């Protein structure tokens, strides 16, 4: 992003030089470049942030595990049906402490995404996550949850195997666990598929991540019958990290390198790691009962408004 901001300034200087040499009027072009520079300096729009959250090179859960964890041991299977590669999880050392980590995992290539379904987990994936989180609860290990999914897998097989029930059970389980839980939205945070791993004592989001009940394309299609209005829907949904912080949905926006996390994954991981470490240190001072109470209260109070609003006028006797 910094390079994009500098480029219009350099072109502006060059245009002025050429105009002086050739006696041409380039004022309109300079105004256009100034407008572009001003737009870029204000930061990406909501739709531009969606594109950054979906960038093919953006660090995934496994990338962050490699950069942040020592001695990570992955666990597989839901002990009922099979292993869903759209969810990864296991145990490892983070900043000298044993933690359990779960998260959605996208693929890097078309072949990988056919296996991992772009991070869209089915019922077995959420059952696996629940199994791993209950293991953490049993041994008193803190949990780190990384969210990066457009949503739960929408296929017929997932519906036949009760995807809604699996999501509900994961949310219910996370509300009961007596161990610290820190959640970070690292890319896409789509609908119930994201919320299923999103019930934490602290919730963070990377600067260009988003967290929403619906994708902007889906919102535009439902409201206006036109998926092409997705940029408009993205702005209306208020799902960017800074919007979420203002609304009290998250506790902190974790900064990214200029241009997005994919431009410098190590720096992005360092920023995320520092935030996770800070909150885990903070939560370790709380006893299990306090952790459960705080987590439940946090989510119960979302959406509660204070004050009054004028009622809509009655029209046509309705």
Averaged pLDDT for residues 27-47: 66
Is residue 203 within 8 A of residue 247, CB to CB? The reply is no
- Using left for φ > 0, alpha for ψ between -120 and 50, and beta otherwise, residue 238 falls in left
The angle at the Cα of 279, spanning 258 to 127, to the nearest 5 degrees, equals 95
Q: Kindly tell me if the per-residue pLDDT of 274 is higher than 90.
A: yes
Model pLDDT, residue 318 = 44
Give the tens place of pLDDT for each residue, 127-139. 999 999 999 999 9
Model pLDDT, residue 17 = 67
Model pLDDT, residue 313 = 57
Q: Where are the beta strands (DSSP E) in the chain?
A: 70-74, 87-94, 97-104, 143-149, 181-190, 202-206, 210-212, 252-254
- Grade residue 5 by pLDDT with cuts at 50, 70 and 90: very low
Model pLDDT, residue 81 = 87
- Grade residue 302 by pLDDT with cuts at 50, 70 and 90: confident
Q: What token pair was written down for 148?
A: 């990066």
- Grade residue 2 by pLDDT with cuts at 50, 70 and 90: very low
Percent of the chain scoring above 90 in pLDDT: 73
Model pLDDT, residue 103 = 97
Model pLDDT, residue 198 = 95
Q: Kindly tell me if the per-residue pLDDT of 59 is higher than 80.
A: yes
Give the tens place of pLDDT for each residue, 190-243. 999 999 999 999 999 999 999 999 999 999 999 999 999 999 999 999 999 999
Residue 189's SS3 state is strand
Q: Kindly tell me if the per-residue pLDDT of 74 is higher than 90.
A: yes
- Using left for φ > 0, alpha for ψ between -120 and 50, and beta otherwise, residue 71 falls in left
Averaged pLDDT for residues 270-295: 95
Closest CA to 40 of 14, 16, 9: 9
Model pLDDT, residue 197 = 96
Distance CA 281, CA 258 (A): 28
User: Which residue did the predictor score with more confidence, 305 or 258?
Assistant: 258
Model pLDDT, residue 6 = 40
Give the tens place of pLDDT for each residue, 141-183. 999 999 999 999 999 999 999 999 999 999 999 999 999 999 9
Model pLDDT, residue 25 = 66
């Amino acid at each position: 992003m910094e390079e994009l901001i500098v480029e219009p300034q350099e072109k502006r200087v060059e245009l002025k030089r050429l105009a002086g040499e050739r006696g041409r009027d380039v004022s309109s072009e300079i105004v256009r470049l100034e407008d572009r520079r001003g737009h870029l300096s204000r930061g990406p729009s909501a739709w531009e942030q969606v594109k950054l959250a979906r960038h093919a090179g953006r660090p995934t859960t496994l990338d962050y595990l490699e950069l942040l964890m020592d001695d990570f041991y992955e666990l597989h299977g839901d002990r009922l049906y099979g292993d869903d590669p759209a969810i990864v999880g296991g145990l490892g050392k983070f900043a000298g402490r044993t933690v359990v980590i779960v998260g959605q995992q996208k693929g890097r290539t078309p072949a990988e995404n056919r296996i991992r379904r772009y991070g869209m987990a089915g019922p077995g994936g959420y059952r696996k996550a629940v199994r791993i989180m209950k293991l953490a609860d049993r041994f008193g290990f803190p949990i780190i949850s990384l969210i990066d999914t457009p949503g739960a897998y929408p296929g017929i097989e997932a519906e036949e195997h009760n995807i809604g029930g699996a999501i509900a059970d994961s949310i219910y389980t996370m509300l009961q666990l007596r161990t610290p839980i820190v959640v970070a939205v690292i890319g896409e945070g789509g609908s119930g598929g994201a919320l299923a791993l999103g019930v934490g004592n602290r919730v963070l989001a990377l600067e260009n991540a988003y967290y929403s009940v619906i994708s902007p394309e889906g919102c535009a299609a439902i409201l206006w019958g036109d998926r092409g209005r997705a940029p408009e829907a993205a702005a209306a949904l208020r799902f960017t990290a800074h919007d979420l912080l203002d609304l009290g949905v998250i506790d902190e926006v974790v900064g990214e390198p200029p241009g997005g996390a994919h431009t410098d994954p190590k720096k992005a991981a360092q920023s995320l790691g520092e935030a996770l470490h800070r909150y885990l240190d903070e939560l370790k001072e709380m006893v299990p009962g306090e952790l459960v109470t705080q987590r439940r209260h946090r989510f119960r109070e979302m959406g509660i408004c204070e004050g009054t609003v004028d009622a809509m006028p009655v029209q046509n006797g309705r």
